[in-house]
Amino acid sequence: MAYPLLTEGEADRIFALWFELVGQAAVHQEPQRSLAGSMLDLWIEWLAERIDARTRARARADAIAMIATLDGALLMHHLGHTEVAKSAIVSATR
């Protein structure tokens, strides 16, 4: 499971920067909004290419769901709700 690895060391700091970028994007700050959107699109495509699914559309949908779940849990972690985040990941991976 990737979640624990993303909450430690350098990865944790990178995601803190990601959420800073996303926060600025959420209030329509440019170029942050365009950059965050482009990065998300690239991550979705990167992950979808690595998912074994019957169709490309299914792989893309699964990639989106995985990223949404992981980003949500990492946001909870960065807001100081690490145990809630862990619980969410466990629930999502059942």
Task: Give the pLDDT of the chain (94 residues) as one tens digit per residue.
Answer: 788 999 999 999 999 999 999 999 999 999 999 999 999 999 999 999 999 999 999 999 999 999 999 999 999 999 999 999 999 999 998 8
DSSP 2-49: -GGGGGSHHHHHHHHHHHHHHHHHHTT-TTHHHHHHHHHHHHHHHHHT
Query: pTM for the whole thing?
Result: 0.88
* pLDDT at residue 2 in the model: 85
* pLDDT at residue 63 in the model: 97
* pLDDT at residue 94 in the model: 84
